Amino acid sequence: MKFACRTALLSCLLVSVALLGAEDLSPPDPAKLAADWWSYFVVDPKTGPDTVDTRIENARRFLGESRDKLVDGEQSKLGPLYDSIIERLAVYGKLRNAKLPISPPATVPAQTYSVTKIFELGDTLRKVRTELGVEAQEVSRLEKALKAGETEQSRRKVTYLESSDTAPDRIEQGLLLMQSRVQLEIASEQLKRRRAQQKILEIQIDALRVELDTAFDRLNVDPDRISFWEEQQRQAIARLNELNGQLTRTQIDQSSILATTPIEKAQTQLTSQKITLLEVQAAIQQVQLAKAEWAIAGIQRVLSGNETDTKADRDLLKTHSRRLEEIQDRLKDWNRTIAQSRNTATEQLAEEKDNGLVTMYESRVVMADQAEQELRRLEDALDTTMRLSDLIDHLLSKREGRLGQGVQLAEDAVQLTWETLRKLMTASLFEVGETPVTTLGIFRFLIIIIVAWWVSKLLRGGLQRVAQRRHTVSEASVYTLGRVVHYFILTIAVVIGLSSIGVDLTKFALIASALGIGIGFGLQNLVSNFVSGLIILFERSLKAGDFVELESGVSGEVREINMRATLINTNDNVDILVPNSEFVNGRVTNWTMREAQRRVHIPFGVAYGTNKDLVKQAALEAAEAVPWTLKGGMHRAPQVWFVEFGDSSLNFELVVWLIPEAVKRPGSVQAAYLWEIESKLASHNIEIPFPQRDLHLRSAFGKKDEDVLNLMQMRAET
C-alpha cells in the first residue's frame, strides 16, 4: 500500500515537472505575446529536432496566414506591418547563417624590396586604414542604434503588456513590438560582422607595418636609377621656374585691372582662379622635386654601405619636410577657395545673359574642375613623397644608431619648440599706425623698460653714495637730480622701445591725438599731478626731509616726491599720499624750507599777585631742562614774555628756539615744555589758578539789592 502511494506521488511530481518545463512550440501570436516571446527563436539542438531556420519559417508562415485572415478594414493598416516582419525574419535568418569574415593568410616577406614595392605596400596600408575608419564609423553607428533600439523595445514591451487582451489596438501593438525586436536582432548580427571585419583590418594593418619595416631593412636599389631621378629633378626645377614666372605675371596682370565694370570684375575673378591653379601646380612640382632629391639621397645612402655621416641627408630631409608641411596646411584653403569659386560661377552662370560674361563664368567652372583634379594629384604626390621621407628617415636612423637617434630626437624637439615659439612670438596681435605689433615686440619693449629702470636705480644709488661721502652736497639736491635722471632715462627707454617695435615716432600723430583725447576726458588729474611733481622738483620749494603742514591739516615729513603723489610720514608713523597738485594749488607751510631751526611759543598762566621775576626764573629753568632747547646762541636764547592780564591769571609765553631734530616733533615738544613748566612752577610754590567768577544778584523773590542779600543771609543762618 505504501509502495503504491509513493509510486503515484512520484508520477504526479514527474508530470508536474514535465508540464512546467514544456516549451510552447507555437509561433508567437501578435495578439497574445509573452514577455519572453523571442525565446521561441532560441533553440537548443539537444532538446528537440527543430532548428532556428525551421522556427523562422514557421513564424513567417503563421504571420502570413494571419495577414490573409484580415478583413478589408484591417488589411490596409496591419498588412504592411505583417509584411515587414515576414521580410525582416528572412533577413535575420540569412544573416544568422552567414559565416563571419576571416582574416586572409599572412604574407611571407620577400627577400628584397624595391622602392616601387615599398610604395605599393604604403598604398595598401593607406587603403586598409581608410577601410578601417569606415568600419569604425559603422560600428559606432550600429552601437548607438542598438542602444536606442533596446530603449524603444523596452518601451513598446511595457505598453503592450499593460494593455488588455480586448484592447482595439492590441494586435497593432504586438506587431510593432515584434517588428522592433526583429530589427534589433538584425542590427546585432550586423554589428557582430562589422566588429569581426574591424578586427581583421587591424590585423592587416599590423602585418603591413611589420612588412614595411622589413622592407626598409631589405631595400635593394639599382644604381642606374640615380640618372632617372636626376632627370626628374631637372624637369621639376624647370617646370617650377616656369610656373613661378607665370604666377608672377598673372599677379601683375590682376593688379592692373581696375574692376569697375562687370566685365572687369569677372576678369579679376577669373584671374584669381588662374592664380590658385598656378599655385597648386607649383606645389605639385615642389613635391616632385622633394621626391626626386629624396630618392637620390636614398639610393646613395643604400649604396654607401657603412657611411655614418648623415648630417647632409638630415638637413635635406628637414628642409623639404617643412615645405611639404606648409603645402599640407594650404590644402584646406585651396579646397575651400576652389569650391567657393565654382559655386559662385555656377550661380552667376544661371542668371547671366551677357555672352561675354557667360564665357568667363564657364571658363571659371572649367578651371575650377581642373584645379580640383590638380589638387587630387597633389594629395597623391604628397602621400607618396611622405612615405619616401619615412624610408629616408629609416635609413638614416639605421646608420645613426640608438645614440644618434636620441640626439636627433632631442634636436628635433628643440627645433620644433623653437619654431612654435617663433610663430607665436612673431604673430601680429594688433596694429599701431599700420605697424603690426607682435608678442616678441612687446617682450622686447618690456625688456628695454626693465633695463632702463635698473640703470636708473644704479645711477640714483651712486648719487646717494656720493652725497653721503661729500657733506657739502645736500641730500635734497641729490634726490631732485635722481628723480630727473630717472624720468629722463625712462623717457629715452620708451622712445627706444617703441622704435624697436617698429612704430614710426615721426608719424605718431594718431597716438598723440588719442592721448590728447584721453587727457581731455579722464587723464587731466594724472597729467596735472605729474606736471606739479616736476614743478616741485625743479622749483625746490619742497624736498625730501622737509616738515610740512597743509591746509587740510595733514602734517609730517616728506619722504618721497613721486610721479603722481608725494609721500608724507606723520609723527605717528602714518604714510599719507598727497597729490602733487595740492602742493602747487594750495597753501603749504614748510617748517624746514630754508633753515632747520624754529621758534615755538609755549603759553602758561599764574595767579594774580605772583612775583613776575620768580615766574621768569622758573620758566627759564624749565627751558634749560628740556633737551630740545637750542643752547649757546646769544640772539636765540630762551625768553619769557608777559603777554596778557587774563580773567583769572597773569598770562606768559615761554619763547624757545628748538634744535633741528625737535622741529619735526611739534606734539612731543609742546608736551615736554608744559611738563617742565608745571614742575618748575610747583617747585617755586607758584600757583596756577583755577578760573574765578564774581556773581552779583540784583533781584530775587521780588526783592532788590540789600534786601536780597539780607534774605540770603537769614536763610543761610537757619
pLDDT digits (tens, 9 = 90+) for 298-308: 777 766 765 55
Q: What is the pLDDT of residue 9?
A: 38
Unique residue bearing C-alpha cell 613661378: 244
pLDDT at position 1 over 50: no
In this predicted structure, the answer to whether residue 425 has a pLDDT above a threshold of 60 is: yes
**Which band of pLDDT confidence, cut at 50, 70 and 90, is reported for residue 360?**
confident
Cα dihedral 490, 492, 496, 501 in deg (nearest 10): 50
Which single residue is written with the C-alpha cell 632702463? 452
Domain boundaries, the chain: 20-216, 222-426, 439-589, 595-718
Q: What type of residue is 10?
A: L
Instruction: Select, from the ranges 270-284, 457-471, 586-600, the one with the highest average predicted confidence (pLDDT).
Output: 270-284
Give the model's confidence band at 21: pLDDT under 50 very low, under 70 low, under 90 confident, else very high.
very low
> Which residues does 22 contact at the CB level (< 8 Å), separation at least 6?
none
Q: What is the model's pLDDT at position 704?
A: 60
Q: Look at residue 374 and tell me whether its pLDDT is greater than 80.
A: yes
pLDDT score recorded for residue 418: 72
Q: What percent of the chain has pLDDT over 90?
A: 12
Alpha-carbon gap, residue 8 to 270, rounded angstroms: 102
Confidence of residue 84 (pLDDT cuts 50, 70, 90): very high
Contacts of 665 (CB under 8 A, 6+ apart): 571, 628
Reading the block at residue 220, the C-alpha cell is 635593394
For residue 117, give the nearest of 12, 263, 219 by alpha carbon.
219
**Contact at 8 Å (CB) between 194 and 132?**
no
pLDDT higher than threshold 50 for residue 86: yes
Q: Which residue has the higher pLDDT, 436 or 575?
A: 575
- Is the predicted pLDDT of residue 7 greater than 50, yes or no? no
The pLDDT of 683-696, averaged and rounded, is: 76
DSSP secondary structure string, 211-273?
Answer: HHHHHHHTB---TTHHHHHHHHHHHHHHHHHHHHHHHHHHHHHHHT----SHHHHHHHHHHHH
Instruction: Compute φ and ψ for 447, nearest 5 degrees.
Output: -60, -40
pLDDT for 356 equals 79
Q: Which tens digit of pLDDT belongs to each residue from 126-157?
A: 888 889 999 999 999 999 999 998 998 898 88
For the residues of 646-673, what is the DSSP string, one character each? Answer: -SSSEEEEEEEEEPHHHHT-HHHHHHHH
Q: How confident is the model at residue 460 (pLDDT cuts 50, 70, 90)?
A: confident
Burial class (CB in 10 A: 0-12, 13-18, 19+), 345: buried
Long-range contacts of 301-307 (CB under 8 A, 24+ apart): 301/392, 301/395, 301/396, 301/399, 302/219, 302/220, 302/221, 302/395, 303/221, 303/223, 306/399, 307/399
pLDDT at 363 over 80: yes
Q: Would you call 632 helix, strand, or coil by DSSP?
A: coil
Asked if 568 contacts 554 with a C-beta cutoff of 8 angstroms, the reply is yes
Residue 277: closest CA among 368, 383, 213: 368
Please give the distance of CA 225 from its chain centroid, rounded to a whole number.
Answer: 52
Q: Which three cell numbers stand for residue 345?
A: 560661377
Place of cell 596778557: 644
What are the DSSP calls for 311-355, one per residue?
HHHHHHHHHHHHHHHHHHHHHHHHHHHHHHHHHHHHHHHHH---H
188: confidence class by pLDDT, cuts 50, 70, 90? very high
Per-residue confidence at 593, pLDDT binned at 50, 70, 90? low
DSSP designation for 520: I
Is it the case that residue 454 has pLDDT exceeding 60?
yes
| Residue 91 vs residues 6, 98, 100, 186, 598: alpha-carbon distances, Å | 53, 11, 16, 7, 115
Q: Which element (helix H / strand E) includes 603?
A: strand 598-606
pLDDT attached to residue 200:
92
Q: According to the model, what pLDDT value does residue 715 have?
A: 65
H-state helical runs in 98-169:
115-162
CATH of 595-718, one of 3.30.70.100, 2.160.10.10, 3.30.300.30, 3.40.109.10: 3.30.70.100
43 close to 50: Cβ distance less than 8 angstroms: yes
Residues 65 and 27 sit within 8 Å (Cβ to Cβ): no
Return the number of other C-beta atoms located less than 10 Å from residue 399's C-beta.
16
Non-local (6+) Cβ contacts of 201 within 8 A are 128, 131, 132, 135
| pLDDT confidence tier of residue 20, bands split at 50, 70 and 90 | very low
Helix 311-351 crosses helix 355-426 at what angle (to 10 degrees)?
A: 140
Band the pLDDT of 520: cuts 50, 70, 90.
low
700-714 average pLDDT score: 62
Does residue 13 register a pLDDT over 60? Answer: no
Position 406 scores a pLDDT of 62
- The pLDDT of residue 702 is 56
Q: Which residues have CB under 8 Å from 567's CB, separation 6+?
A: 558, 559, 560, 561, 575, 576, 577
pLDDT band at 4 (very low <50, low <70, confident <90, very high): very low
| Spatial distance between the Cα atoms of 327 and 385, rounded to a whole number of angstroms | 12
pLDDT for position 689 = 83
Instruction: Report residue 5's pLDDT band, with 50, 70 and 90 as the boundaries.
Output: very low
Tell me the percentage of the chain whose pLDDT exceeds 70: 79
Nearest to 254 by CA among 270, 273, 271: 271
Q: What is the pLDDT of residues 621-648, one digit of tens each?
A: 888 888 878 876 667 788 898 888 888 8
The mean pLDDT value of the chain amounts to 79
Q: What is the pLDDT of residue 140?
A: 92
pLDDT single digits (tens) 30-80: 888 888 899 888 876 665 556 888 889 999 999 999 888 888 778 888 889
Question: How does DSSP assign 454-518, residue by residue?
Answer: HHHHHHHHHHHHHHHH-TTS-HHHHHHHHHHHHHHHHHHHHHHHHHHHT--GGGTHHHHHHHHHH
Contact 533, 564 (CB under 8 A): yes
Give tens-digit pLDDT for 224-259: 778 888 898 999 999 999 999 998 998 888 887 777
Q: What's the pLDDT at 577? A: 83
DSSP state at residue 37? G
For residue 599, what are the β-bridge partners? 657
- Kindly state the cell numbers that stand for 10: 512520484
Radius of gyration of the chain (CA): 53
Q: How far apart are CA 284 and CA 574, in angstroms?
A: 76
Across 180-193, average pLDDT: 92
